[in-house]
């Protein structure tokens, strides 16, 4: 006799969607959310950790849940500082999978893991490599292009000319982290069409970084000119010792002048310039 299967155990747990209101933590984030609600095409630029991808994906998920759009299309150029898609294992969907993790984290949080995966299987949420969008028309959907700084002007033109009726298109990127040679399609597009009435450009700054305080400090450190330590190393190599910080602040500099050593005076002044600039 075959035992009847417990149907309650076979029903997929879709999880509970996160219905909390999406609010910006900074003024720029608030303007970004407002732009997504009001404009057809939004360009967002800025450093990592400013919430560009999270907010765009969360807004798209909310529109899908509320029935304000039919589907969500997620895309990005398959450009990384490592293996290309052709060298990754599996079919094209498997190859593109690693690029989708930032989107999936937000979708699981806003929709619940089971519901998000169900929508992916049904086609309500589609992940398509940028190169495979040619010939597609965006209609009644939200489209998010992430890492857009790694598109070429030709790729960006191809993407933008997919825009049809009743769709919201969000293009995100960090122009300081370009991994391609030549001109960025993101910068080119903003310069060409950023002034159009249906287009909104949002520029995030390091003040908008919300990921962590450490990330903000890291971004600030990379924005500062790198300190040139060669004069200090050369001085130590020639004279066998380092200059004390107290000596660097002397005015005039009798220690070096008394030596009547042109090289020592030159290196001393170079080191002193660096210290004073700090």
**pLDDT digits (tens), the chain, 278 positions:** 444 444 333 334 555 667 678 988 899 999 999 999 999 999 999 988 899 999 999 999 999 999 999 999 999 887 654 445 555 555 555 555 666 788 888 999 999 989 998 998 899 999 888 988 999 999 999 999 999 999 999 999 999 999 999 999 999 999 988 888 899 999 999 999 999 999 999 999 888 887 766 776 776 777 666 655 555 666 566 556 665 555 544 444 444 444 455 656 666 666 666 555 54
Query: In angstroms, rounded to a whole number, what is the distance separating the alpha carbons of residues 239 and 258?
Result: 15
Same domain, 122 and 52: yes
Q: Are residues 217 and 144 in the same domain?
A: yes
66 shares its domain with 202: yes
Please identify, among 223, 253, 268, the residue that sits at the C-terminal boundary of a domain.
223
**CA atoms within 13 A of residue 108's CA, in its CB half-sphere:** 7
pLDDT at 164: 95
Residue 3 maps to a domain: no
Give me the pLDDT at residue 83, please: 43
Q: What is the pLDDT of residue 237?
A: 63
Which one of 182, 199, 223 terminates a domain?
Answer: 223
145 and 181 co-located in one domain: yes
pLDDT at residue 273 in the model: 64
- Is 11 among the domain residues? no
DSSP three-state, residue 170: strand
C-alpha closest to that of 32 among 62, 10, 53, 63: 53
218 plus 135 within the same structural domain: yes
The secondary structure element, H or E, covering residue 117 is: helix 113-122
Give the Cα separation of 102 and 121 in Å (integer).
18
Is the whole-model pTM more than 0.85?
no
Residues 218, 112 share a domain:
yes
Dihedral sign for Cα 218, 219, 220, 221, please: positive
Q: Per the structure, how many domains does the chain have?
A: 2
Identify the domain containing residue 148 by its residue range: 27-223
Instruction: Confirm whether 248 is domain-assigned.
Output: yes
Q: What is the pLDDT of residue 10?
A: 35
251 and 186 in a common domain: no
The residue whose two tokens read 């057809």 is 40
Burial 126-161 (b: 16+ CB within 10 A, else e): bbbbbeebeeeebeebbbbbbbbbbbbbebbebbbe
Q: Which strands sit side by side in the sheet containing 41-45, from one edge to the other?
A: 125-127, 71-75, 141-145, 167-173, 41-45, 199-203
The whole-angstrom separation of Cα 81 and Cα 92 is: 19
Residue 232: closest CA among 270, 278, 176: 270
The answer to whether residue 5 is domain-embedded is no
- Choose the final residue of a domain: 203, 223, 243: 223
CA distance 3 to 263: 93
Q: End-to-end CA distance of the chain, in Å?
A: 84
Are 206 and 240 within one domain?
A: no
Q: What is the pLDDT of residue 275?
A: 54
My answer on whether 83 and 165 are in the same domain is yes
Q: The domain spanning residue 142 has which CATH number?
A: 3.40.50.300
User: Does residue 260 share a domain with residue 157?
Assistant: no
Q: Does residue 125 sit in the same domain as residue 242?
A: no
Question: For residue 65, which of 130, 22, 110 has the smallest C-alpha distance?
Answer: 110
Distance of CA 90 to the CA centre of its chain: 26
177 and 240 assigned to the same domain: no
Position 210 scores a pLDDT of: 77
């Amino acid at each position: 006799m075959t035992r009847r299967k417990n149907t309650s155990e076979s029903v997929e747990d879709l999880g509970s969607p996160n219905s909390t209101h999406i609010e910006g933590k900074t003024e720029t984030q608030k303007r970004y959310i407002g732009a997504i609600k009001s404009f057809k095409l939004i360009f967002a630029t800025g450093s990592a950790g400013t919430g560009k991808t999270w907010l765009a994906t969360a807004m798209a998920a909310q529109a899908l849940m509320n029935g304000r759009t039919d589907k969500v299309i997620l895309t990005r150029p398959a450009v990384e500082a490592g293996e290309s898609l052709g060298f990754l294992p599996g079919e094209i969907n498997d190859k593109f999978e690693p690029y989708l993790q930032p989107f999936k984290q937000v979708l699981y949080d806003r929709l619940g893991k089971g519901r998000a995966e169900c929508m992916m299987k049904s086609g309500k949420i589609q992940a398509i490599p940028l190169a495979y969008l040619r010939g597609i028309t965006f209609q009644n959907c939200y489209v998010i292009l992430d890492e857009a700084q790694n598109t070429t002007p030709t790729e960006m033109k191809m993407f933008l000319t997919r825009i049809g009726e009743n769709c919201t298109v969000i293009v995100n990127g960090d122009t300081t982290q370009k991994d391609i040679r030549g001109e960025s399609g993101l910068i080119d597009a903003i310069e060409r069409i950023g002034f159009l009435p249906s287009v909104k450009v949002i520029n995030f700054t390091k003040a908008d970084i919300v990921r962590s305080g450490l990330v903000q400090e890291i971004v600030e450190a990379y924005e500062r000119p790198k300190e040139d330590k060669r004069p200090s190393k050369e001085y130590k190599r020639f004279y066998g010792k380092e200059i004390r910080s107290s000596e660097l602040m002397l005015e005039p500099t009798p220690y070096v002048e008394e030596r009547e050593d042109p090289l020592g005076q030159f290196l001393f002044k170079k080191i002193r310039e660096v210290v004073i600039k700090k």
